């Protein structure tokens, strides 16, 4: 992807031009946005469609461990679960990726070799993003050198909220350049951006800078992915493709724990961005506890019995 879509090259020519563009985006009708998200969340689906939705959701999960107590053994166990989420049923889809800190990438890469499951790594001083640019870029280089297929970076929310949009834009460009062939997910931490207008601006800023995915959250703050903020980001990628021909993925992360939640988000994708995004190349769930509920519901559909949490592995 070019550093900036040609249709918007003038918008990123200077700090003032970028500010004019971002503040020229249509304002968000918060009441309307939340009402539409709530309405779509009430859609019911038939049993056969539910079985399809469960398998699709499993295939879209970035199975994640981002704790200070992570060990190589835990990462290998998570990788094994990503490849065979339900060891009793080998028809269960693999997850999309395993997401770890940069120092665990080599362990994940070795464990997932040949499986088709991607290795994603958070970087750029995750989750706060409070570090000098050279430190952030070194973080990315280390992860890519260790074999990461995808990089999940956090933006500098302080710079964004103080209106230094060009700084955020240039930082994303610099990270993208370090990614090489790895795909870049840009995390906004929507819970800290305060307004829907800011989320819309951040979405367009990330896309203009070359993000392959825009992502709601780190999962480390009180407010993470919601139907409303994800709907807003889906509208942004839909409109961006309509104007540029470039398709960008979306990743809600944090707080999505049940099959019912996942189905609501898949309905949002289908009804807002469209079927082209109903694929793990373009939509992901940043969740781990979600997988266990999906597996339990999948077992119930196939056997007629609800197995309960003791029948799935603990992450």
- Each of the 315 residues of the chain gets a pLDDT tens digit; together they read 445 666 688 899 999 999 999 999 999 999 999 999 999 988 877 778 999 999 999 999 999 999 999 999 999 999 999 999 999 999 999 999 999 999 999 999 999 999 999 999 999 999 999 999 999 999 999 999 999 999 999 999 999 999 999 999 999 999 999 999 999 999 999 999 989 999 999 999 999 999 999 999 998 888 889 999 999 999 999 999 999 999 999 999 999 999 999 999 999 999 999 999 999 999 999 988 899 999 999 999 987 776 665 555 555
Task: Tally the C-alpha atoms within 13 A of residue 37's C-alpha that lie toward its C-beta.
Answer: 19
Looking at residue 54, what is its pLDDT? 97
CB 99, CB 66: distance < 8 Å: yes
Q: What is the Rg, in whole angstroms, of the alpha carbon atoms belonging to the chain?
A: 19
What are the residue numbers of the active site? 152, 215, 251
Q: Which helix (H) or strand (E) holds 154?
A: strand 150-154
CB 152 within 8 Å of CB 121: yes
pLDDT of 1:
41
Q: Where are the alpha helices (DSSP H) in 185-313?
A: 196-208, 227-244, 259-272, 289-303
Q: What φ, ψ does residue 70 adopt, rounded to 5°?
A: -60, 140
Strands 249-251 and 213-215: parallel
Tell me, what's the pLDDT at 288? Answer: 80
Q: What is the pLDDT of residue 306?
A: 64
Rounded Cα distance, 28 and 188, in Å:
17
CB 156 within 8 A of CB 137: no
| Number of Cα atoms under 13 Å in the Cβ half of residue 131 | 17
- Tell me the β-bridge partners of 283: 250
Confirm whether pTM is higher than 0.95.
Answer: no
Distance separating alpha carbons of residues 82 and 138, to the nearest angstrom:
28
Compute the residue count for the chain.
Answer: 315
Cα(137)–Cα(18) distance, integer angstroms:
23
Could you give the C-alpha distances from 30 to 191, 200, 272, in angstroms and in order?
15, 12, 16
- Locate the DSSP E strands across 47-106: 61-64, 97-100
Q: How far is CA 225 from CA 81, 82, 145, 218, 304, in A?
A: 24, 22, 30, 9, 31
Q: Who's near 214: CB < 8 A, 6+ residues apart?
A: 185, 186, 188, 202, 203, 206, 207, 233, 236, 237, 248, 249, 250, 251
């Amino acid at each position: 992807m070019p550093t900036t879509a040609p249709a918007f090259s003038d918008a990123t020519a200077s700090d003032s031009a970028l500010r004019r563009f971002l503040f020229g985006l249509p304002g968000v009708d918060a009441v309307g946005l939340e009402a539409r998200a709530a309405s779509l969340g009430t859609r019911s689906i038939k049993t056969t469609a539910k079985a399809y939705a469960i398998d699709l959701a499993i295939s879209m999960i970035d199975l994640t461990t981002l704790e200070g107590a992570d060990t190589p053994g835990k990462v290998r166990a998570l990788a094994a679960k990503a490849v065979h989420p339900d060891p009793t049923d080998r028809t269960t889809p693999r997850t999309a990726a395993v997401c770890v800190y940069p120092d665990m990438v080599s362990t994940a890469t070795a464990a997932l070799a040949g499986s088709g499951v991607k290795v994603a790594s958070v970087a750029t001083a995750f989750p706060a993003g409070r570090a000098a640019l050279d430190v952030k870029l070194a973080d990315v280089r280390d992860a890519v050198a260790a074999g990461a297929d995808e990089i999940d970076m956090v933006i500098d929310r302080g710079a964004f909220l103080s209106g230094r949009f060009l700084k955020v834009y240039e930082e994303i460009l610099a990270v993208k350049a370090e990614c090489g062939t790895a795909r870049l997910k840009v995390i906004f931490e929507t819970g800290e951006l305060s307004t829907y207008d800011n989320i819309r601006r951040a979405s367009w800023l990330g896309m203009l800078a070359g993000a392959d995915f825009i992502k709601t959250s780190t999962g480390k703050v009180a407010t993470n992915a919601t139907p409303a903020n994800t709907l807003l980001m889906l509208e942004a990628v839909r409109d961006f493709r309509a104007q540029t021909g470039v398709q960008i993925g979306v990743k809600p992360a944090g707080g999505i724990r049940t099959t019912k939640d996942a189905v609501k988000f898949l309905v949002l994708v289908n009804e807002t961005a469209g079927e082209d995004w109903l694929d793990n190349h373009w939509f992901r769930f940043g969740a781990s506890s979600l997988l266990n509920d999906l597996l339990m519901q999948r077992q119930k559909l196939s056997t007629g019995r609800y197995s309960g949490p003791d029948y799935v592995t603990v992450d």
